[in-house]
Amino acid sequence: MCPAVSILKVARMGHPVLRARARPLERGEILSPGVQKLIDDMIETMTEYQGIGLAAPQVHEDVRLFVAGTKGDADVPQVVLINPEVTVVGSATGEDWEGCLSIPDVRGRVPRALEIRVRALDRRAKTHEFGAHGYLARVLQHENDHLDGILFLDRMTSFESLTFLEEFGRYWSREEVVPE
Ligand code: NI
């Protein structure tokens, strides 16, 4: 039997689940049908809402797991990261626009480290270690923050750039930005 994939309800800012520190998953749990279905559902939900990333707390699941990227995209390939450990490399930072499916229709400029190293388990509970830079590093830092109850607003150094999506499109959008 192959249970149908579901589109999950996304928690919005103000829901306490977005502010909690999520718990690590045990290797055995990762391989369980429940977690495998959660991963499939999260990918489906992220795709449905055109997000570039989605963390488990955003769908009311208190575990250290996120999905990110798009199938076939060389810049931001689709990944499933479990119990990730993100380490900043060097001190270079850059500022760029971010959004969040849990903070609908809002965009703001967020400073992030440009280079990171990531160590995480995949959906088969195998360990991977890799480097990421630029936009991919930004997406992974944004999603990893969700596992610690941190939202992109917390990372902004000024709210001057904070904008609604409609005004973003009218005044600020020169590049396509998708909600994380
Ligand atoms: Ni987000």
Cα 157–chain centre separation: 20
Whichever domain contains 57, its CATH number is 3.90.45.10
By residue range, what is the domain housing residue 136?
A: 16-172
Q: Structurally, how many domains does the chain consist of?
A: 1
pLDDT, tens digit, 9 for 90 and up, residues 21-35: 999 999 999 999 999
Domain assignment of residue 178, yes or no: no
Residue 3 has pLDDT above 80, yes or no: no
Domain assignment of residue 4, yes or no: no
Average pLDDT of the residues of the chain? 94
Per-residue pLDDT at 64: 98
Structural contact between residues 163 and 106, judged by C-beta atoms closer than 8 angstroms: yes
- pLDDT class for 177, splitting at 50, 70, 90? low
Separation of 4 CA from ligand 1 center, angstroms? 25
Residue 58 has pLDDT above 70, yes or no: yes
* Average pLDDT of the segment spanning 116-144: 97
Alpha-helical runs (H) found in the chain: 27-30, 33-48, 134-146, 152-155, 165-167
Query: Annotated active-site positions, please?
Result: 143
Domain assignment of residue 10, yes or no: no
Least confident of 69-78, 100-109, 135-144, 171-180: 171-180
Separation of 159 CA from ligand 1 center, angstroms? 17
CA distance between the termini of the chain: 32
Domain assignment of residue 151, yes or no: yes
Separation of 146 CA from ligand 1 center, angstroms? 7
- pLDDT class for 72, splitting at 50, 70, 90? confident
Residues 168, 155: Cα–Cα separation, whole Å: 19
* Average pLDDT of the segment spanning 80-102: 97
Domain assignment of residue 11, yes or no: no
